[in-house]
Structure 1
C-alpha cells in the first residue's frame, strides 16, 4: 500500500483498476471496508482509490483536534502523491464534508457523490454520531448504521463487518477527533461548488437529518437529491442499487 504524509501524519492509500480516478472518503470512524461494495462496482473501467483517514486503519493517528480542512489537505497530499490530475469524489458523512471542502479549495474534483452529508455540523446529532463508535460495542454501534431488518437478515455479513471494523475502525481519541471535525464543519459557499453532485440520504438516519441532506442537494448549483431506505449506512445496506446509480453518474460525466 503506498503512503504519503501531510501535517505530521503518514497516510496510507490503495488503488485498483485503470481509467478516470474515483476516490472514496470515509465517514467518522469507519475504515476502508466501508467502500468494498462500491470499490468492486467501480474498479475496472475506473481507477478506485481508497485511503485511510488520519486516525483510521494504517494511517497515523496524531492527537486531535482534527478539522475538515486538515482532512481535505490530507486528500490533496494523497492525490498529488499518486499523480492524479482530476478525480471523482465519493464521500460519506464526514467524508462528504471533506469532499465538499476539497472541491471548493482544490482544482482536481470533477464530480461529487455524497452520502448522508450536511452542509453544517450543527445539523448533525452529536449523540447519535457518538453512538456509532465501535467503543460502544459491535451490536450497539451498528444499530444506528443499519436497519434492524438488515441486521437480522444478513447475520453472516454483519459478523464480517464486525471483524473488519475491529481491524480498521478508529476508536478512542481518534474517533472523537474525527467526530469533532464533523460537528464543527461549516461548508464553504455552496453556490461556489459548481461540479455535478448527487446527494443520497437515509430516510431513518439518526445522525444526519433528512432535511439537512435535502437542503444540501437543493443549495448546490448542480446538485440532485435521492432518498434511500435505511439508516446512516443506507448506501451500504442498499449497495447494489446505489452503486448502479453511481456508475451511471460517473459514465455520464466521464468526458467532462
Structure 2
C-alpha cells in the first residue's frame, strides 16, 4: 500500500494509468470534506490511460493518518506536495472537489507545480461552504444515507438506488469521523483577495442544484480567477462527479487534453 509521510503524518495514495510516453501527464484528485477516495471512482478510472492518475486520501480519512485537529491549509498543501514528490511528478493537473478544490487553489498559488485546475463544487470563501450538511458518522449507515440528501438530488437517489447503496458502503468504510470533518473545515481560509495570483487555466464545474456550496459561489470563483471558466451542470447536486459522471468526464478529457 503506497504511503508518503509529511511531518510525521502518513498519507495514503493510489495511482493508475501510464500517462504519456515520458510519464509527465499526471492528474491528482483532491477530496472533499471528510470523504474517502471512493468519491473519485467515476473520474480517476475514466482518465487513467491517457493520464497517470493519483488519488491521495486526505489526512483524517481512510488509510491516511488522522492527527488531532484543527488542520491548517498549509498542512493540506504540504500533503499534496509530498504525494507529487512520492510519485515523481514535477508538475500535475489538479482536480479538486469542495475542500480539495480549495486546497488546489492554494497549491496552485504556492507550489509552482500545478498545470491546469478543475474545481468541482468549490468556492473562494469559507462562508459559502456548509460541509456539515453532508457530514455523518461512518459508524452509522442510516445517518450516512440520510446525509446524502445534501449531496445528491432526489431524482438521482430514486433512479440510482443501487449506486446509493454502494456509496453508503464505501462511506462507512472510508469516510472520516465527525471530529475530522470539523478539523478539515477549520483549514478553509478566504482566498478572495488573492485569486488574481492564480493564473493557471481553471475549469470550475458546479451542480446547479448544489446544496452544500451554492452554484453562484462557484460562478463568482470562476469570474475572479484570471483564466477561469464556469460550467454549470443542470439537475445535479454537490456530488456532481457522481451524478453527472459522463458529461463531467467528457469535459475533463477535453479540458485537460488541450
Alignment TM class, shorter chain as reference? over 0.9
CA distance in 2, matches of 1:140, 1:131: 10
Q: Cα deviations across residues 104-140 of structure 1 (Å, max 9, x unaligned)?
A: 000110000000111111222x3xx212112270221
Report SS of the residue matched to 1:110: strand
Match of 1:203 in 2: 208
Call closer, same or farther: CA 1:26–1:10 in 2, change over 3 Å: same
Match of 1:18 in 2: 18
CA distance in 2, matches of 1:187, 1:6: 28
167-176 vs 239-248, which deviates more? 167-176
58-67 vs 115-124, which deviates more? 115-124
CA distance in 1, matches of 2:155, 2:123: 26
Q: Is the 8 A contact 1:131 1:140 kept in 2?
A: no
Match of 1:110 in 2: 115
Equivalenced residue count is 248
CA-CA distance at 1:67 after TM superposition: 2.1
Match of 2:98 in 1: 93
Match of 1:3 in 2: 3
CA-CA distance at 1:185 after TM superposition: 4.2
Q: Cα deviations across residues 188-235 of structure 1 (Å, max 9, x unaligned)?
A: 611111111000112121221222111110111111001112211122
CA distance in 1, matches of 2:210, 2:59: 25
Show structure 1 runs of 5+ residues with no match.
Answer: none
Query: Runs of at least 4 residues of structure 1 off by over 3 A?
Result: 184-188
1:141 to 2:147 alignment = yes
Report SS of the residue matched to 1:12: strand
Report SS of the residue matched to 2:63: coil
Q: Cα deviations across residues 48-95 of structure 1 (Å, max 9, x unaligned)?
A: 000101001100000000122210111001111221111000000000
Match of 1:67 in 2: 72
Pairs within 5 Å for 1:1-256? 1-19=1-19, 20-124=25-129, 126=130, 129-135=131-137, 137-182=143-188, 184-187=189-192, 189-229=194-234, 230-252=236-258
Report SS of the residue matched to 2:93: strand
CA distance in 2, matches of 1:46, 1:63: 35
Report SS of the residue matched to 1:181: coil
Show structure 2 runs of 5+ residues with no match.
Answer: 20-24
**TM-score (ref. length: structure 1):** 0.93
Q: Cα deviations across residues 145-179 of structure 1 (Å, max 9, x unaligned)?
A: 00001001111111011111111001121121112
Provide the aligned C-alpha RMSD in A: 1.3
**TM-score (ref. length: structure 2):** 0.93
